C-alpha cells in the first residue's frame, strides 16, 4: 500500500450521546433481503465453480435482481397461491472460457432454489417461484482484469465505502431481535409466524436522563394456522409478550425504557382484510416486491445516523469489486481500531476509496476518523492506527478468500 493514510480526530458527539437515533433491519424473509442473500450466494457458488474448473475466479457481478410479487388469496386455515413470484437474476457473468462453457443459468437457478428451500418453511421453490435469468457476458476490458494468474487483482470500479464501530445499543437490539424472531427456537415456539420480519427502532433521549427506545415490528402470520380473527389477535398478544420479554432481558442500563409495537396496521372487526396474513411467510407472495441494494448495508443494518457506502455489496465478485471488498473491510478495520483502543476512543469511522485499474491493496484513499474520549489525544494512537490500516491491506487476500467462500454475510 503506497497511498497516504489519513488519521484524524472528529469533534462530533458520539452517537449514543445524541438525542435521536433511527435504526432499521430488514429480516431474513423480507423481499429486499431475499434478493441480496440469493444474489450473494450465487456469486459464492460461481466463484467456487470457476476455481474448481480454472483455478481462478472469473469476471462476474450478480448484483442486479428483482423479486416481483405474486398473487395469493388468503383464507382462514389456509390460503392458496394464484400467481407465483418471479425472481429476475441479472447483470454479468463469464459463460465462456477457452473451449469451456460454464452453465451459469443452471447454477443461478439451482442456487436460488437451494436458498429458498433452506430459509423458508412454506415456499416451494419449484411451484411458488418462476426464474428469469438475465446474466450476460461482461465487457472485454473488465473481463481482462481476471486473466492475472497470481497476485491481487486491480479494482474493477471506482467506489467508496465506510465502516464504523462500535454498534450502539439501538443497533444491537434491532439486529439481535430480528435474529431471534427468525431463529429455530422462536419458530418452533410460534410456527404460525412468517420469516418476513422488519424492525424499525428509534431512540429519544441520552445522557443521564431516561432514554426511550421504540421498536416497531412487522412479522406476518401464516394463514394455515389462523382459523379466525379471534385466534389471530390471541396469537398476536402471545408473540408481543414474548418479544417484550426478550428485549427486556437485553437491557443492561436502568435508564432505558423500551416500548414495542407489533403489526400496527391490524384492525379489529375487519375480518381477514384487517390482519397481516401470508400463505408463504413473505410479503413477496402478493404485497411487496424486492430489489438488490434496498435492504441492509454490509453490517446487516440500515442506520440513518451513520454515513453509508455508495455500493450494495451483495452479489459483487469477491476478488476485484471493491464495492464488496471495501464495504466489508471498512467495518472490519473500524472494529479492530475500536477493540485495540477501547480505553482511548468513543467511536471509529473508516473510509476507503478505490480507483478503477489500481490494485485493490492500493486504495486511492484510506482514512480513519476517531472520536476520542474526554482527556485523550489523537496523537497517542495515530501511528498505531496507521499501522493497523497498513496491516489490514497486507492481508486483504485473506478477506477476499473468505468472501469467495461465503464466510461473511452481506445482508
- List the chain domain ranges: 5-15+28-164+301-404, 17-26+170-291
pLDDT at 271: 87
Domain pair 5-15+28-164+301-404 / 17-26+170-291, same fold: yes
pLDDT at position 200: 98
The stretch 204-209 carries a mean pLDDT of 69
- What would the pLDDT profile of 326-376 be if each residue is shown by its tens digit? 999 999 999 999 999 999 999 999 999 999 999 999 999 999 999 999 999
Asked if 323 and 383 count as a contact pair (C-beta separation under 8 A), the reply is no
Cα–Cα distance for residue pair 68/91, rounded to 1 Å: 17
For the chain, the average pLDDT equals 94
- In this prediction, residue 39 has a pLDDT band, given cuts at 50, 70 and 90, of very high
What cell numbers appear for 174 in the block? 434491532
- Predicted confidence at residue 404, as pLDDT, reads 95
Percent of the chain scoring above 70 in pLDDT: 97
* Segments of 209-280 assigned E as strands: 211-218, 221-222, 256-262, 277-278
Q: CA-to-CA distance for 314 and 324, rounded, in angstroms? A: 7
Mean pLDDT score, 238-254: 88
Whether a cis peptide bond, with omega within 30° of 0, leads into 166 is: yes
* Grid cell at residue 84: 407465483
And the C-alpha cell for 308? 453509508
> pTM for this structure?
0.94
Which grid coordinates are listed for 325? 471488498
Cell of 395: 492481508
Query: Domain 17-26+170-291: which CATH class?
Result: alpha beta
Q: What pLDDT, on a 0 to 100 scale, did the predictor assign at position 151?
A: 75
**d(Cα 199, Cα 26) in Å, to the nearest integer?**
7
Give the CATH architecture of domain 5-15+28-164+301-404: 2-Layer Sandwich (3.30)
Question: Are residues 138 and 59 in contact, defined by beta-carbon separation less than 8 angstroms?
Answer: yes
145/138 Cα distance (integer angstroms): 11
Query: Looking at residue 397, what is its pLDDT?
Result: 95
pLDDT at 251: 76
> How confident is the model at residue 304, as a pLDDT?
96
pLDDT of 279-314, one tens digit each? 999 999 998 999 999 999 999 999 999 999 888 999
Q: Is the pLDDT of residue 207 over 60?
A: no
Which of the pair, 205 or 186, is modelled with greater confidence? Answer: 186
- Write down the pLDDT at residue 245: 95
Averaged over 185-205, what is the pLDDT? 97
**pLDDT of residue 64 exceeding 90:** yes
Give the per-residue pLDDT at 129: 98
What pLDDT sits at residue 148? 65
pLDDT in tens, 153-163: 899 999 999 99
Q: What is the pLDDT of residue 1?
A: 64
pLDDT, residue 252, reads 66
d(CA 14, CA 142): 41
Q: According to the model, what pLDDT value does residue 209 have?
A: 59
- The H or E element that residue 8 is part of is strand 5-10
Please report the pLDDT score of residue 256 as a whole number: 83
- pLDDT bin (cut points 50, 70, 90) of residue 253 is low
Amino acid at each position: 500500500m503506497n497511498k497516504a493514510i489519513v488519521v484524524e480526530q472528529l469533534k462530533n458527539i458520539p452517537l449514543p450521546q445524541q438525542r435521536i437515533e433511527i435504526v432499521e433491519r430488514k429480516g431474513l424473509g423480507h423481499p429486499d433481503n431475499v434478493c441480496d442473500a440469493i444474489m450473494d450466494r450465487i456469486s459464492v457458488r460461481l466463484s467456487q465453480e470457476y476455481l474448481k474448473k480454472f483455478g481462478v475466479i472469473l469476471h462476474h457481478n450478480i448484483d442486479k435482481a428483482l423479486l416481483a410479487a405474486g398473487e395469493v388469496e388468503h383464507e382462514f386455515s389456509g390460503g392458496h397461491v394464484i400467481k407465483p413470484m418471479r425472481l429476475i437474476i441479472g447483470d454479468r457473468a463469464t459463460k465462456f472460457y477457452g473451449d469451456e462453457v460454464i452453465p451459469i443459468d443452471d447454477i443461478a437457478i439451482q442456487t436460488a432454489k437451494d436458498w429458498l428451500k433452506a430459509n423458508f418453511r412454506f415456499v416451494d421453490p419449484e411451484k411458488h417461484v418462476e426464474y428469469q435469468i438475465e446474466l450476460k457476458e461482461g465487457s472485454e476490458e473488465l473481463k481482462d482484469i481476471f486473466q492475472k494468474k497470481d497476485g491481487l487483482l486491480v479494482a474493477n470500479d471506482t467506489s467508496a465505502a465506510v465502516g464504523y464501530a462500535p454498534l450502539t445499543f439501538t443497533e444491537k437490539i434491532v439486529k439481535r431481535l430480528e435474529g431471534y424472531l427468525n431463529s429455530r427456537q422462536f419458530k418452533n415456539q410460534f410456527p404460525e409466524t412468517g420469516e418476513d420480519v422488519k424492525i424499525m427502532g428509534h431512540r429519544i433521549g441520552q445522557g443521564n436522563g431516561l432514554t426511550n427506545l421504540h421498536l416497531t415490528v412487522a412479522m406476518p402470520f401464516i394463514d394455515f394456522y389462523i382459523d379466525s380473527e379471534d385466534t389471530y389477535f390471541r396469537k398476536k398478544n402471545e408473540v408481543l409478550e414474548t418479544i417484550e420479554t426478550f428485549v427486556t432481558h437485553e437491557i443492561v442500563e436502568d435508564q432505558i425504557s423500551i416500548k414495542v409495537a407489533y403489526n400496527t396496521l391490524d384492525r379489529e372487526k375487519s375480518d381477514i382484510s384487517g390482519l397481516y396474513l401470508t400463505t408463504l411467510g413473505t410479503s413477496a407472495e402478493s404485497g411487496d416486491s424486492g430489489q438488490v441494494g434496498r435492504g441492509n448495508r454490509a453490517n446487516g443494518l440500515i442506520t440513518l445516523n451513520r454515513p453509508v457506502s455508495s455500493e450494495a455489496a451483495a452479489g459483487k465478485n469477491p476478488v476485484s469489486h471493491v464495492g464488496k471488498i471495501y464495504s466489508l473491510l471498512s467495518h472490519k478495520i473500524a472494529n479492530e481500531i475500536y477493540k485495540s483502543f477501547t480505553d482511548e476512543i468513543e467511536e471509529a469511522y473508516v473510509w476507503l476509496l478505490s480507483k478503477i485499474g489500481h490494485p485493490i491493496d492500493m486504495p486511492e484513499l484510506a482514512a480513519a476518523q476517531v472520536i476520542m474520549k474526554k482527556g485523550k489525544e489523537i496523537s497517542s494512537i495515530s501511528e498505531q492506527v496507521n499501522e493497523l490500516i497498513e496491516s489490514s491491506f497486507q492481508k486483504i487476500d485473506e478477506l477476499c478468500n473468505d468472501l469467495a467462500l461465503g464466510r461473511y454475510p452481506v445482508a
